[in-house]
Structure 1
Amino acid sequence: MFSREQLYKLGIMAYLTVWYVGSFWLIAAIGSGLFEHTFGIDFIKFQDYLYYALAGAIGGTLYAMRLFHFYYDSLTERWVLWYILRPILCAGTAVMTIVLFESGIMLLEAKESVIAKIGIAFLVGFGYGKVMDKLKTLTETLFNGKDNSTDGDDKSK
């Protein structure tokens, strides 16, 4: 039979594959109007944000699959949780990053097209760790009045 580690590896690969392929399928399904009025929800009103979430999930899943392949022999239970959470966290972060760009809180020179924002959302998902570092710096700057990442002597942390 399969060992626990083999089951983890098989489960993670299946899970990430479902996220990856499923996100592309959902983008196509949403674009075709399959879910226009499902569950009493008018998906057309926030269709673009679904695209951003799915693009972020694709980016995060692609990054996770790459690392899964690279570190296949050193999988631990701690990393199993990381692989499970990665697509979900990347989807949410991609949407909120686009909201921050649209609100003017974060500035980026990009076209106002949905395709450009989908591209940004993908990059947010793929570079999730770096985006979180930037968001932390932005939060420190906005709410503390200074960037604490460059000041190692701050005792108020």
Structure 2
Amino acid sequence: MKIIIIYLCAWLSMLAVLWSFDLRGLLPSWFVQYRLAYLCFIIGSLGGTVYCLRAVYLNRCVKEDWNNNWTVWYLLRPLVSGLVGAIAYVFLKAGLLVLDAGSSDQSSSYGFLALSFIAGLNVDRFLVKLEDVAQVSWGVKPSRTSERSTNKREDDDETQNS
């Protein structure tokens, strides 16, 4: 567990350094056109890392049910969250997800970053939402994993309403 905490703190440090490159204007000139996608990756990773840190203290301290079988999940989640944050950027840029039609460029950038954080924080549900968009837009059926996730949520909702 300590290794996981150190690893997640290292991710936070790396994300801070990567973000500081942008804040200090150290990105190469050819990369500036990809700045928002870069930040979406960083913010998505931040969301995933926050989620992992929360999972550590919930599973270790609150539930007292730490399980080393989840180590791979803790190692991969920040990276996957960053990728999903970047994918959120692509879907927003393509117009398949819409923030606010009348927003300025500055507030639009914040919207991209906010959605990337949410996507990184909650990868599973965000991917289900993207599959919903794909089904409506192109008729692509949801993956089996997504169908199981949706069915589980419906079962959970029925249990809570009983």
Tell me if TM exceeds 0.5.
Answer: yes
Calculate the TM-score normalised by the size of structure 2.
Answer: 0.73
Q: Taking structure 1 as reference, are residues 119 and 35 closer, same or farther at Cα in structure 2, changes over 3 Å only?
A: same
Q: Unpaired segments of 5 or more residues in structure 1?
A: 1-8, 153-157
- Return 126-135 or 139-148, whichever deviates more: 139-148
Calculate the TM-score normalised by the size of structure 1.
Answer: 0.75
Q: Taking structure 1 as reference, are residues 145 and 95 closer, same or farther at Cα in structure 2, changes over 3 Å only?
A: closer
Residues 113-124 of structure 1: pairs in structure 2 closer than 5 A? 113-124=108-119
- Structure 1 residue 91 corresponds to structure 2 residue 79: no
Shift of residue 25, structure 1, vs aligned partner:
2.5
Question: What percent identity do the matched residue pairs reach?
Answer: 22
Please report the RMSD computed on the Cα atoms of aligned residues, expressed in angstroms. Answer: 2.4
Question: Matched residues in 1 for 2:45 and 2:80: separation?
Answer: 8
Shift of residue 146, structure 1, vs aligned partner:
7.2
**Higher helix fraction: Structure 1 or Structure 2?**
2
Question: Matched residues in 1 for 2:66 and 2:32: separation?
Answer: 41
Query: Retained in 2: the 8 A contact 1:141–1:147?
Result: no
Question: Matched residues in 2 for 1:146 and 1:35: separation?
Answer: 40
Report how many residues are paired.
Answer: 138
Q: Deviations over 1:89-138 (max 9, x none)?
A: 11111111121112112233274432221122112111222101212222
Match of 1:22 among 14, 39, 42: 14
